[in-house]
Amino acid sequence: MNLAAVASLRKRLEADLPVHGLWVTLDAPGVSEIAAAFGLDWVVVDAEHGHLDWGDIVAHVRSTVRSGTVCLVRVAELTPGVVKRALDVGADGIVLPRVETPEELERAVSYTRYPPAGIRGVGAERATAWGRCFAEHAADADANLMVVPIIESVAGAERIAELAQVEGVDTFFFGPADFCASAGATGQWETPAVAEQIAHCVQAVREAGKRCGVIATGAEDLARRHREGFRMLGLGLDAGLLIRSLEGMLEAAGVRRELTPSLEPRAVGTVERPLPRPPAGLRPDRSASSCALPDAEELSLGEGVMMHTLVGERTGARGLTTGIAVFEPGARLPYHRHPCGETITLLEGAVAVEVEGRRYALAPLDNVTVPRGLAHQVENVDAERPARLHVALASERPDRELVEPSWKVERMPDDSAGTAGAEHVVRHAAATRYSPGPGTEFVDHLNAELIPGIEMSGGWGRFERGGRLPAHVHDFDESICIVDGTARCVVEGRTNDLDGIATAHVPRGRVHYFENTVDAPMEMIWVYAGPMPERIVVDERCATREGSPWEPPQAKEDRP
C-alpha cells in the first residue's frame, strides 16, 4: 500500500480541502504514470466498464508506486472474490458500484478486512510482498484501505443518511448519469430534479462528517462542484480528456470530426458518401413552406412583449416552434418554465436572461439554451430601444407555467458559458467556428453533446457568395431563419429567395439545401427538431424537379 499517499489524501479531506484525480479507462499504464508525475492526489482504475483485464489493472497500480498518488480500483461487482483480487494486486482501496443499502455497504467493507474484522482471504500477492510481509500489510490494510461507494441511483439516495453512518467509509462518490437513468431520464447527465437529490445527499454526507466526490465535466463545472461541497474532484476520464483535446486541436486546424459507433471518422453532421436517394423510411407527408415576418402569427406574451410565430403548429411542424420575440424598451417577461427545452438568440438590442437567479447579459448573436423545467425570465435592459430575439422551443405547441421567483440574483461573468447540467450560454464573439461546406462558417448553439438531454439542436451560420451545403435530408423537421442578407432555399427543385427574417420550414424527409447567390454575406439561425445536427447527404439530382425522389414517374411526366 501507498501509506503516505493515503494518509496525505485523508488529511486533506478531513481538513475539507479538495483532492483532484483522474478516472482511468484506457489500458496504457502511462496514463496513470502521467497522472502521478503531475502530482494528482488519486486515480481510479475502472474495472467495471470497458476492457481492462487484471494485467492492465496491475500495470496501472505499479505506475503509482512510490508516488504521492493514491490508486483505487473500481470493481465490477460487490463480491468477496472481486474485491479481494483488486486489493491483492496492491490497490490502495476500492470503489464500489451502485451501492443502495447499508447492509450492502457493510458487507463490502467486510470484504476488505482480514478476520476477525472481516472475511478478506490471505493471499501471497503484490500487496503482501508476495507473502513475505503479510503481518505488516494486514495491520496497515485494515487501518488504511479506502472504501468509496458510488451513489448512482434514486434507491441509494433515499437511504443516504443510513449509508453515511456505516463505519469504515469516509468518502462517497456520485454518478449523475446513472442516477438520471434510475430516475427515468436515461442518456442525460444531470436533470434539475436529480441535481436537487444529489445536493440533498451531499448535505447528509457532510453532516455525518464525511466527504463527497464526483467527476467534473469541465473547468467551470469543477469550480461549481467545489462550491456545492464536493471535495474528491475528478478532472475527467482519460479518454474524454484526450477526445476533447483532439477535437480542440482539429477545430483549430479548421477540421471538425465526430466519433461514430463504427469508429470510422466522420465530419460533424454529415454523411461522407452521398446516398443515391433518401432512405425509404424518410418519405415525407408534408410540404415545405416559408413565412415572412409580416405574415407571422402574433401572440402577446405579456406587457410590451410580442411573439411572431414563424414555424409551429400552423405550418405543420412537429416538435418545433420558432419565431421572433420583440421586447419594447424596458419590457420584461416574468419567470416561467416550459415542459420542453428553449433556445434564445439575441438579434438586436440589449437583454438579460435570468435562469433561477443566474443573470446573463447578452450581446448580439449570443445564445442561451434553457432545458425543460428550468425557470427563467428575459428582460430588455435598454430603456430606449426595443430588442429582438430569435426563439425556438422543442414543441409545436409550447406551453408555459408562470413561476414566482425565490432565487437570489447572481450576475454571471460576461464570458460565462452557463452552468453545467443546467443552462448553456454561447458567446458569439469567442465561439468555436467550423465549416460544414465551402464558403460557410458555423457556430453550434445547442445539441445533446453540449447539453445532455436537450430535445433539439441548432446554431448560427454564415454563407459567403457561392457558399452552400450539399443536398441533404433530416430525420426531423428544420427551421431556418434568415437574419441577414438573402438566401436561396431549394427544396426538391422548388426555389425561394428569403430575406428580412423570413423563415423556411423544411419537414422531415424533404431534400433541400441553402445557398448564397449574391455578393453580400448571408446569415441564418437554424434549429432542428432533433438532439443532434445529423444530416443525410444525397445525390444532388434529388434536389431537382426531375430527380425528386418522392414523386411517382407519372406526376413528373404530367408536370408542365
- Indicate if the pLDDT at residue 273 is higher than 70: no
CATH number attached to the domain at 3-237: 3.20.20.60
- Dihedral sign for Cα atoms in the order 6, 11, 16, 21: negative
pLDDT in tens, 298-336: 999 999 999 999 999 999 999 999 999 999 999 999 999
d(CA 500, CA 482): 7
Contacts of 450 (CB under 8 A, 6+ apart): 369, 424, 444
Task: Find cell 453540449 and name the residue.
Answer: 450
Half-sphere exposure in the Cβ direction for 137 (13 Å, CA): 25
Q: Locate 388 and state its grid cell.
A: 429582438
Q: What is the mean pLDDT of the chain?
A: 91
User: Average pLDDT in the 213-241 region?
Assistant: 93
Q: What's the length of the chain?
A: 560
The candidate with the shortest Cα–Cα distance to 89, out of 45, 52, 128, is: 128
Could you report the per-residue pLDDT of 400-424, keeping only the tens digit for each? 999 999 899 999 999 899 998 899 9
Instruction: Please name every residue paired with 355 in a beta bridge, in sequence order, or none if there are none.
Output: 358, 376
Q: Which residues of 339-359 are buried (b: 16+ CB within 10 A; e: fewer)?
A: ebbbbbbbbebbbbbbbbbbb
Residues assigned a catalytic role: 49
**What confidence tier does 268 reach under pLDDT thresholds 50, 70, 90?**
low
Q: Say if residues 83 and 107 touch (Cβ distance below 8 Å).
A: no
255: confidence class by pLDDT, cuts 50, 70, 90: low
Distance CA 468, CA 220 (A): 36
Range(s) for CATH 3.20.20.60 in the chain?
3-237
Query: Where residue 251 falls among pLDDT bands split at 50, 70, 90?
Result: low
Does 264 or 76 have the greater pLDDT score?
76
Question: H helices within 52-101, ranges in order?
Answer: 54-63, 80-88
How many whole angstroms separate alpha carbon 149 and alpha carbon 98? 7
DSSP state of 293: G
More confident residue, 560 or 24: 24
Indicate whether 555 pLDDT > 60. Answer: no
Across 215-222, average pLDDT: 88
Written as one string, the DSSP assignment of 369-436 is: EE-TT--EEEEE--SSS-EEEEEEESSSS---EE----PPPEEPPTT--B-TTS-EEE-GGGPPPB-S
Q: Note the pLDDT tens digit of each residue in 52-85.
A: 999 999 999 999 998 999 999 999 999 999 999 9
Contact 459, 481 (CB under 8 A): no
Mean pLDDT of 22-28: 96
Q: For the whole model, what pTM was predicted? A: 0.56
Q: What is the pLDDT of residues 123-148, one digit of tens each?
A: 888 888 898 888 888 888 888 999 99
The residue assigned the cell 438532439 is 531
Instruction: Examine the pLDDT at 553 and tell me if it is beyond 80.
Output: no
Q: Name the more confident of 121 and 213.
A: 213
CATH 2.60.120.10 residue window(s) in the chain: 280-543
Query: What CA–CA distance (Å, rounded) separates 84 from 141?
Result: 12
Asked if residues 461 and 523 have their Cβ atoms less than 8 Å apart, the reply is yes
Count of CB atoms within 10 A of residue 15's CB?
A: 8
Question: In terms of DSSP bridges, do strands 410-411 and 358-362 run parallel, antiparallel, or are they unpaired?
Answer: parallel
Min mean pLDDT across 356-370, 521-535, 541-555 is at 541-555
Question: What is the predicted pLDDT for the residue at 8?
Answer: 96
- What share of the chain in percent tops pLDDT 90? 76
Q: What are phi and psi of 494, to 5 degrees?
A: -90, 125
Q: CATH class for domain 280-543?
A: mainly beta
d(CA 74, CA 53): 12
Other beta carbons within 10 Å of 29: 20
Of the two residues 461 and 189, the one the predictor is more confident about is 461
Reduced to 3 states, what is the DSSP secondary structure of residue 556? Answer: helix
Q: Torsions phi, psi of 121, nearest 5?
A: -80, 160
